[in-house]
Each structure stands twice: as C-alpha cells, then as structure tokens.
Amino acid sequence: MTDSPAGPGPTATPEGAPVRVLLCDDHAVVRAGLLALLGSEPRIEIAGEAGSGEEAVAAAAKLRPDVVLMDLQLGPGIDGVEATRRIAATGVHVLVLTTYDTDADITRAIDAGATGYLLKAERPEELFTAIHAAAQGRTTLSAPVASRVMDRMRRPRPTLTDRERDILAQLSQGLGNRDIARALFISEATVKTHLGRIYDKLGVDTRAGAVAVAKEQRLLS
C-alpha cells in the first residue's frame, strides 16, 4: 500500500485525536461488519452511517466527519463517485473502499477528489492505517491500485481518429447514441462501432469511464 502527501486541501485531523468516520455502503450486512471492525480500533470513532449516496452527502454536511469511507456502487440514486465529488467539495476527506479496481473506476474517483482508494480485500490493519492517513490529508492507494495507476502513466497515449474525438466530445456533453448520430450525421450503428473502438483504446467499458480517461489524458480539447 502506498502513502504519499496530498496537495493543499481539507484541514487535517490533529495528530493523536480519534478519527471520526462516516461509513457509506448500500449493503446493510457489509455496513454492520465494517462498523464492528472500525469499532475495534480505539483511535477511530463512528460518526454515522449511510446506505446511499444522497444519505452520505446529507450526513457528511450535518456530522462533518474527518473521513467518509465510501463504496462506489450504491444502487439507485447517485453513485459513490458523485457522492465523493459533492462531499470532497465541502472539505471533508473521502476514502474509497470498494471491490472495483478498473482504470475507469480509479480515474473517476480520484478525479472526483477522493483522498485515497482502498480495496475491500485489504487487511484490517491496512484499512485503519489508510483511515488515519486520510484524516491527515495523505493519499493512500492499495498496492493493486497503485500498480494500475503506474501502468497507466507508463502506457503510451492512445491515438484516436478525428471521428473518435468527435464522438468523445459529444459523449462528454452527456449525449446518447441517437443524439450523437444526429449531431454528426451518421448512423447509430456507426456510433456504437466507434464507441467500441474508443473503449478498447482507452481501456474502459463505460461511457463515464471513457470521458474520465479522455479528460485525464487530455484527449478532449
């Protein structure tokens, strides 16, 4: 697991003080297990829990925890990335805790302002360490996540055709396939074909992932 200083951002929790944590996960059984685990660590205090992105945003605003432990997939409503974006914008640290480690998920979460990105397969000690690091504003990544980030940085920048860039630009505006086809005067089938090639080149499998990676690699003008 890597741990490095983050840039200017939210205020750090005073050294030695208990870290107040808000837990967000849409599975009640998972939440119960994590709450019990976190409760076993004397230097961690449970500030509250949330079962959806909307609940997490509201609870973070009300409780002002030191760290929000955030899952990415939260069922109906806003997902963990959007919840992270809204919470991080208020100055509260968000530590992602998820089973997902695709390039798109990692890129979207970090772009949204997550302080760290941890996988649920980590040992309890690693989770505790990451929470305390997040409270201090330090970035912590699970080893597999750090490896993916480094691999992506070393990877040659993908080459997109002019048409693929056009479609990506439309995609970044939130347009669906039909609207993209109309805007570019091509068929929906052609749009789908180009999207498949774009996904392959960017190493993603979702529209949001494609836009996130394209922005990260400055493929959109």
The position carrying tokens 């091509």 is: 186
pLDDT number for residue 19: 95
214: tokens are 């394209």
pLDDT number for residue 16: 67
Phi first, then psi: what are they for 203, rounded to 5°?
70, 35
pLDDT number for residue 221: 66
Distance CA 32, CA 36 (A): 6
Element (H, E) at 104: helix 103-111
Distance CA 10, CA 110 (A): 15
pTM for the whole thing? Answer: 0.67
The position carrying tokens 């409760």 is: 39
Low-confidence ranges of the chain (pLDDT < 70): 1-16, 152-155, 221
